[in-house]
Amino acid sequence: MIRCVNVHPTPTTRYVIDPREQLKAFRSIDAAGEELIGIYHSHPVSQPYPSPTDRAEAHYPDALYVLVSLRTGEPEVRAFRMGADDFVLEIPLAVERRGLARHLADPPRRRD
């Protein structure tokens, strides 16, 4: 997991990764021979469902988008695939004993 800082001026409602930090993350992924499998961010005051902005800015159709809502005090976590034409598909998650979410359906595929 590579964490990036949200540099948007209104971070409660929007997120933007600093372009230099994003480039550094992608270079790190490439250098390790890995691939991007997911992107996560929080929805501090709304449900964990892709907003119109999330859908419009989902530029990685092979990635799993994990949304964490903090609206009730207990984190709500949901995952989605998003793509062209406002396509949104929820992907089931399960919580393992260690508290980490694990992707159950459509596991990541290696590109050759």
Domain boundaries, the chain: 1-35, 36-103
Helix (H) or strand (E) holding 40: strand 38-43
Q: Which CATH class is domain 36-103?
A: alpha beta
Q: What percent of the chain has pLDDT over 70?
A: 84
Helix (H, G, I), strand (E, B) or coil at 22: helix
User: What digits encode the pLDDT tens for the residues 4-54?
Assistant: 888 989 887 888 889 999 999 999 999 999 999 999 988 888 899 999 989
DSSP state of 30: H
The secondary structure of 71-111 as a DSSP string is: TTSS-EEEEEEEETTTEEEEE-EEE-TTS-EEE-SS-----
pTM beyond 0.85: the answer is no
User: What is the Cα–Cα distance from 20 to 13, expressed in whole angstroms?
Assistant: 22
Task: Name the 3-class secondary structure at 57.
Answer: coil
What is the predicted pLDDT for the residue at 110? 41
Tokens of 107: 């596991």
pLDDT tens per residue across span 41-77: 888 888 999 999 899 989 998 999 999 998 888 889 9
DSSP 2: -
